[in-house]
Structure 1
Amino acid sequence: KKFTGYPGTEVSVKGAHFVPDRVVIDGNYITSRGPGTAGEFAIAIIAALEGRQKADEVAQHALQK
């Protein structure tokens, strides 16, 4: 499994591969780097649950796009 997280998590999580991206989706897992990526993280969760079209709509209204 791939994941991202706050600096330092790359050494504390065993059995997974750290990726320094802002948001990482791997199967049913969605991870983000931290508070500064909350908006992108929220949009990724909406896309996973409700589809890309709904996520784009929410992002547009939230000025994320």
Structure 2
Amino acid sequence: MMGLDQKGSTVFCVQQGKSGQWEVSEEGFDKPLASFDSPEDAKKYANDLAKTKEGSGVKVID
């Protein structure tokens, strides 16, 4: 599905990776776009990315 839902929007996922870092990835892709020490930094990055793509959103996975 390439990280797209029915509306064609992109979802950026924020979750803690195996290394303990917080990773931002595009839903449907394994490779993280970026890694951060704190969840706040990862969420900010994901939200900034979402603003650049119309109709996209952020999902935080605890």
Relative to the length of structure 1, the TM-score reads 0.28
Structure with more helix by fraction: 1
RCO (CA 8 Å, sep 6+): is it higher in 1 or 2?
A: 2
Please report the TM-score for the alignment, with normalisation by the length of structure 2: 0.28
> Rg bigger for which structure?
1
